């Protein structure tokens, strides 16, 4: 063992919390900017229409979380490709 001790546990936890709060703030800002871009391009209405149409076509299949995730992933990929 070495004689040098690291910072106190409370300090490490406080630093981690601060980093997590900063990351959360960046994610919120990114998400807000993305939604703003989608609204300007009218993509939100397109996504809503596509989601309703997909739900009607899929029927009961969308009742499973995996199916909803797949549909969401495909729609997001289409949206990002359009940009």
Q: Rounded to 5 degrees, what are φ and ψ at 26?
A: -65, -45
Q: What is the pLDDT of residue 61?
A: 63
Alpha carbon 63 to chain centroid, angstroms? 21
Residue 52: band (very low, low, confident or very high) from pLDDT cuts 50, 70, 90:
confident
Tell me, yes or no, if the pTM score tops 0.75.
no
Q: What is the pLDDT of residue 74?
A: 81
Q: Over the stretch 21-36, which tens digit does the pLDDT of each residue have?
A: 999 999 999 888 888 8
Mean pLDDT is highest, among 25-29, 30-34, 55-59, 65-69, for: 25-29
Q: Which residue has the higher pLDDT, 60 or 6?
A: 6
The answer for residues whose C-beta is within 8 angstroms of residue 47's C-beta and 6 or more apart is: 38, 75, 79
The pLDDT of residue 4: 66
* DSSP per-residue string spanning 21-60: HHHHHHHHHHHHHHHHHHHHHTHHHHHHHHHHHHHHHHGG
């Amino acid at each position: 063992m070495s004689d040098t001790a690291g910072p106190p546990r409370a300090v490490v936890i406080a630093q981690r919390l601060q980093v997590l709060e900063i990351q959360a703030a960046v994610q919120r800002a990114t998400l807000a900017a993305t939604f703003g871009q989608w609204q300007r391009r009218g993509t939100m209405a397109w996504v809503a229409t596509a989601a309703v149409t997909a739900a009607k076509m899929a029927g009961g299949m969308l009742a499973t979380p995996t199916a909803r995730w797949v549909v969401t992933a495909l729609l997001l990929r289409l949206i990002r490709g359009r940009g």
